[in-house]
Amino acid sequence: MAIIERPATAGGVEIAPPATPSRAQGGFKRPVSTTGWKSWLFTVDHKKLGIMYGVMAMFFFIVGGIEAVLIRLQLAAPEGKVLSASVYNQMFTMHATTMVFLFVMPMAAAFANYFIPLQIGARDVAFPRMNAFGFWCVLGGGIFINLSWFLGGAADGGWFMYAPNSGPIFSPSHGVDFWTLGLQITGIASLTGAINLIVTVLNMRAPGMSLMKMPVFTWLQLVVQFLLLFAVPVITVALFLLSFQRNFGATFFDVSAGADPLLWQHLFWIFGHPEVYILILPSFGIISEVLPVFAKKPLFGYPFVVFSGAAIGFVGWGVWAHHMFASGLGPVSVAVFSISTMAIAIPTGVKIVNWTLTLWGGKLRFTAAMHFAIGLIVLFTIGGLSGVTHSVAPSDTQQTDTYYIVAHFHYVLFGGAVFGLFSGFYYWWPKMFGKTLNEKLGKANFWMMVIGMNMTFGPMHILGLQGQPRRMYQWTEARAGEGFFNLAFWNQIASIGSIILAVGVLLFIINVVKTARSKELAPLDPWDSRTLEWMTSSPPKEHNFDVIPTVHHLDEFFHRKYQQDPVTHEYKQIATAEEILADQEAHADKHIHMPSPSYWPIVLAATLPIITTGVIYSIPVAIVGGIFLVLAMFGWALEPSTAPETDFDPPAAGESTKELAPLV
Amino acid sequence: MSDVAVHEADHGTHGHTTTTGLSNNKVAMWLFLGSECLLFGGLISTYMLYRGRVSEGPRPGNVFDIPFTSVSSFILLMSSLTMVLAVSAAQNRDDRGTTLWLTVTALLGATFVGGQVYEFTAMYNEGLGFTTSLFGSSFYALTGFHGVHVTVGIIMLMSLVGIIKRSTIPGDKAEVVELIGLYWHFVDVIWIIIFTLVYLIPA
Amino acid sequence: MTAATETHSEHDHSHDDHAQHGMSNAGYIRIALILAAMTALEVSTYYVDFGALFMPVLIILMVVKFFIVVSYFMHLKFDNKLFSFCFYAGLFLAVMVYVIALATFKFFAA
Ligand code: HEM
Ligand SMILES: [Cu+2]
């Protein structure tokens, strides 16, 4: 951590005594810009990184969305000609990969990065450079995976990449290699991110914030980070074995060599089921913030929500083989996993009850954020119920690998995870950018997405139960059947729905552009919120809080604004957000230590795609990349964490250098 | 990864204390080691599943040289002792003792890795290549991963010796030494498991 | 890193009480001797026939050695419980999921 001592407010001028002089052992001088592209490229600020994660995830959301629409166009009519069979396989594989690893996970990471430090009253994360490193890894890995489209074809084995489809015989292009190695890179980011955020939550809470006074979003993100911490290494092993098979001639999943392809399935789903909770819990956390605010009531049964979140995090490790019911596990295993899967629906149900009871009797305000939150409750419940039908193994053997499964996971993932993220966009936009997203457009956005998503995925229950297999690239009139349940009709409805869904997403983008252009600034506390992230300016100052707050309550900010009347038990407003902020500014800390920007995170992350490219095309390149990697690690490690002023790049002409120039 | 964690900021640790009073770096290291359990667990399980699957080439019993591996396992085990002595010296601010024990630890580690290279060469000459059989692939994958971990540890130990020697101000390197120590012991306990499950218990 | 430690030596006292709850060097050497003896016992199974005890002895020795190193050399026994949680959570999950996965392959059958 560097010391850039500077006055927190323009008032008290206090320049730090120079730190112990030292050489720039890290090799580079420190970057200095606080504006312009350099300030983003070399930043270690959790808020900037949060926004960068968000922008990247949104980009991949659009990429994955286009892939989805192409899939639906192909299936809109009998004997579709939009995509060839081989491109179709690549399309659904990359659609799922993109949505899971490059949209939902990074978007959840965007919120985690931006809001965990703010919600716990910290000035940054525990390891700011590692945070930046994580972002550059995901970006590098994401681009790397997608490069395969232009280099002979993308991965085509389905997102779970079962053997033998993942082997060289059925997947001769380099697509699977790009996929495997790219996911290794994003996995590194997940691991470092998990460690970073866990340490941040455990160690950097504001004074007084005990674990049970922590906002629910932070809590559920903590559970998610533990899931990542322990699930990522499992997929890492699986991906290594697959790479060794594809690139170095091992036979880990090759039946003809005596291997057990079920090994891959186990490793994948030991990771994969915790992964689905990694995808959904951040959204659960978001709506657990949104519902109380717009119901003007505390979250019903906070400890239950927290403990059921932790319970999901634990039980989620004991259900993975429900994805393998049809693989011949044997009756005992099937029975055990069937029962554990039914059990995991319980803590999930607890949450739904808590949210519903939070709404009960509240003064509800139906903002766009609230719409999406309620949408999540309803749609996720539908997906949860179809999930319970899969937990019954005999029933699942009928459903597995049909569109019924596709319906299930889109209700939980789109209706659940994605709606939660959208709720977060509308709720937190004013905090992040100082402007409120247009509410009218927001509601239009919501209704288009609800209608579109139900039209797209609702009929898939029918299609699946009628026997339409998953990942089928064409259907024919002759086999579509007749009457109400004929496949042709419902396929068409689903395809039309996907267009409506796309329009819904487009409305969101229009809303963002419109809001960015608008001059109207958001009020300081537009929703009358309850948690610490609202107790600072919008967008927050670089150091987040002028004074680190001391916490006395769950929902601390609410309790600073309102006090309970001892007689009537009603809450009366005692302060406005503006007054609280003014009070903070008046008592601002004099010395604020902020971490210095650094070149090393992006440099270190950039060596990884070099190595993976080398693994595919030429081992010497990988070795050179490896040498750079080691050098970059040394540079990183030797970069003094306390940066003296001589260690900085001098500002270029015309550049703003707020940090170093004395503010007078 | 770990040296990323080691030298990352003590941001938040100084100036004011952390919420739990524990060092950020140390919590991070323990989390990382917890995560590593699942990495090695996966590799060990793969080996256990595949060790008997030999369509071609030698079987486990034919290639293992138990006396040789026992010696190198013993050497790695003793490097844990020297590591702990380095930590203890560092906590007493004894720079000379610290560098001495760190160097000894690195040398013991290097001896172990050298032994592994020798072992791999011998096995290869007896006809067990990486792709010969599932046994071979899973054996080399597991022990290779472990060997890479030891090698990374040696590099960290040597770098630390260099840093301590170069720095003009003596004294408090205790935490960094302790963190690298934790990593080193972890790699050692993984070998305790591998030695028993892979070498001593025949397929 | 060096610069950081240099400028913040005022916090050094935190490391002193740290050294207290460790062990003496003599203690470490004693532990190492115990570990060495156990290793010798392990290796002896290669030369001496232990019969039905072969597997249990090896597994027990392995587990005990593991926990001795973790508890004493890695200080987990004396350190904050949070560290134990971080590590044992991972260890526990690893043992659980992989043993179950191997069981579905009938690995432990006969
Ligand atoms: C009530 C809780 C849930 C239950 C009981 C449940 C049950 C199941 C079962 C048994 C399957 C396997 C079906 C098959 O392939 O034959 C499945 C698939 C799936 N579930 Fe769930 N699930 C639940 C919640 C969730 C959640 C919260 C998510 C994600 C946010 C999710 C995402 C998925 C996905 C992505 C698949 C398909 C995997 C694939 O084959 O590609 N599920 N679910
Ligand atoms: Cu599952």
* B104-151 tens-digit pLDDT: 999 999 999 999 999 999 999 999 999 989 999 999 999 999 999 999
Query: 């020798």: which residue's tokens?
Result: B118
Q: Do A263 and B32 touch (CB under 8 A)?
A: no
Closest CA to A592 of A639, A532, A659, A641: A659
Q: Which residues of C touch B196 (CB under 8 A)?
A: 42, 58-59, 61-62
Residues within 8 A of B (CB atoms), A 588-607 only: 593, 595, 604
Indicate the average pLDDT of chain A: 89
Condensed to tens digits (0 to 9), the pLDDT of residues A371-410 reads 999 999 999 999 999 999 999 999 999 999 999 999 999 9
Angle made by CA atoms A116, A416, A55, in degrees to the nearest 5: 50
Q: How confident is the model at residue A168 (pLDDT cuts 50, 70, 90)?
A: confident
Per CB-CB distance under 8 Å, the chain B contacts of A547 are none
Q: Does A641 touch chain C (CB under 8 A)?
A: yes
A648 strand-pairing partners: A30
**Which member of C3, C97, C106 has the closest CB to residue A641?**
C3
Residue A284 CA to residue A276 CA, distance in Å, equals: 12
Answer whether A104 contacts ligand 1 (Cβ < 6 A).
no
Q: Is the CB of A407 under 6 A from ligand 1?
A: no
User: Could you tell me the residue ranges of all domains in chain B?
Assistant: 2-200
Indicate the pLDDT class of residue A164, thresholds 50, 70 and 90: confident
**pLDDT category, A569, cuts 50, 70, 90?**
confident
The pLDDT score that the predictor gives to residue A483 is 84
- Is the minimum distance from the CB of A178 to ligand 1 under 6 angstroms? no
- Buried b / exposed e over B117-135, threshold 16 CB at 10 Å, is eebbeebeeeebebbbbbb
CATH class of the domain comprising A45-595: mainly alpha
- How is residue A604 written in tokens? 């270190």
Tokens representing A653 are: 């002409």
The C-alpha of A270 sits at a distance from chain B's nearest C-alpha, in angstroms, of 10
Q: Each residue of A148-184: b (16+ CB within 10 Å) or e?
A: bbeeebbbbbbbbbbbbbbbeeebebbbbbbbbbbbb
Per-position DSSP letters for B30-94, written without gaps between them? HHHHHHHHHHHHHHHHHHHHHTT--SSS--HHHH--HHHHHHHHHHHHHHHHHHHHHHHHHHTT-
Is residue A1 lining ligand 1, measured as CB closer than 6 Å?
no
Q: Is A387 in the pocket of ligand 1 (CB under 6 A)?
A: yes
In A183-262, at which residue ranges do the beta strands (DSSP E only) sit? Answer: none
Per-residue confidence (pLDDT) for residue B5, from 0 to 100: 33
User: What mean pLDDT do residues A40-61 have?
Assistant: 94
Task: Looking at the complex, report in whole angstroms how far the Cα of residue C99 sits from the nearest Cα belonging to chain A.
Answer: 12
As a dihedral over the C-alpha atoms of residue A620, residue A621, residue A623, residue A629, rounded to 10 degrees, the angle is 170
Interface test with B, best of A119, A195, A248 (most B CBs within 10 A): A195
- Residue whose C-alpha is closest to residue A248's, from C97, C9, B203, B129: B129
Least confident of A153-162, A504-513, A580-589: A580-589
Q: Are residues C27 and C39 in the same domain?
A: yes
Does residue C69 sit in the same domain as residue C89?
A: no
A297 lines ligand 1 (CB under 6 A): no
pLDDT, position C2: 35
pLDDT in tens, A94-129: 999 999 999 999 999 999 999 999 999 999 999 999
A107 near A279, Cβ under 8 Å? no
CA A105 to chain centre: 3
- Of C29, C65, C90, nearest to B35 by CB-CB distance is C90
> How far is A658 from B10, CA to CA, in rounded Å?
24
- The CATH code belonging to domain B2-200 is 1.20.120.80
Q: Which string of DSSP letters, residue by residue, matches A528-575?
A: ---SGGGSS-SSPBTTB-SSPPPP-STTHHHHHHEEE-TTT--EEE--
Chain B residues in contact with A117 (beta carbon < 8 A): none
User: What does the alpha-carbon distance between residue A1 and residue B121 come to, in Å, rounded to a whole number?
Assistant: 46
Work out the number of other CB atoms within 10 angstroms of the CB of residue C33. Answer: 11
Mean pLDDT (whole number) for A608-634: 94
Residue C110 class from Cβ within 10 Å (0-12 exposed, 13-18 middle, 19+ buried)? exposed
User: What is the C-alpha separation between A606 and A628, in angstroms, rounded?
Assistant: 9
Ligand 1 contact, A402 CB (< 6 A): no
Ligand 1: residue of A162, A323, A381 to mutate (most ligand atoms within 8 A of CB) is: A323
Low-confidence ranges of chain B (pLDDT < 70): 1-16, 168-172, 203
d(CA A137, CA A139): 5
Mean pLDDT of C25-50: 92
Instruction: Domain of residue C75: give its range.
Output: 2-79
Could you tell me the pTM of the whole model? 0.92
Residue A141: CB partners within 8 Å, gap ≥ 6?
A182, A183, A184, A185, A186, A189, A608, A609
- Please state the φ and ψ torsions of residue A568, each to the nearest 5 degrees: -85, -10
Helix (H) or strand (E) holding A93: helix A85-97
**Does residue C27 sit in the same domain as residue C48?**
yes
Give me the residue label for tokens 């100036």: B15
A68 touches chain C (CB under 8 A): no
- pLDDT higher than 90, residue A528: yes
B33·C97 Cβ contact <8 A? no
Of A165 and B190, the structure prediction assigns the larger pLDDT to B190
- A528-542, B24-38, C14-28: lowest mean pLDDT where? C14-28
Tally of domains within chain C: 2
Contact A529, A561 (CB under 8 A): no
Residue A636's pLDDT is what? 85
Q: What DSSP letter does each residue of C11-53 carry, written as one string?
A: GTHHHHHHHHTS--HHHHHHHHHHHHHHHHHHHHHHHS--GGG
Same structural domain, C73 and C91: no
Q: In whole angstroms, give the CA distance from residue B14 to residue B24.
A: 10
Interface test with C, best of B30, B101, B138 (most C CBs within 10 A): B30
Q: Count other Cβ atoms within 10 Å, centred on residue A570.
A: 9
Task: For residue B16, give the chain C residue with the closest CA.
Answer: C11
Q: Is the ipTM of this complex over 0.85?
A: yes
C103 and C75 fall within a common domain: no
A610, A612, A617, A619: CA torsion to nearest 10: 80
Residue owning tokens 């959790």: A46
> What is the Å distance from ligand 2's center to C102 Cα?
19
What span, in angstroms and rounded, lies between the C-alpha atoms of A638 and A241? 34
Q: Are residues C22 and C54 both part of a single domain? A: yes
Measured between alpha carbons, how far is residue B68 from residues B65, B71, B199 in Å? 6, 5, 11
Instruction: Name every residue whose Cβ is closer than 8 Å to that of residue A269 and which is 6 or more positions away in sequence.
Output: A160, A320, A321, A323, A324
> Has residue A86 got a pLDDT over 90?
yes
The better pLDDT of the pair A64, A597 is held by A64
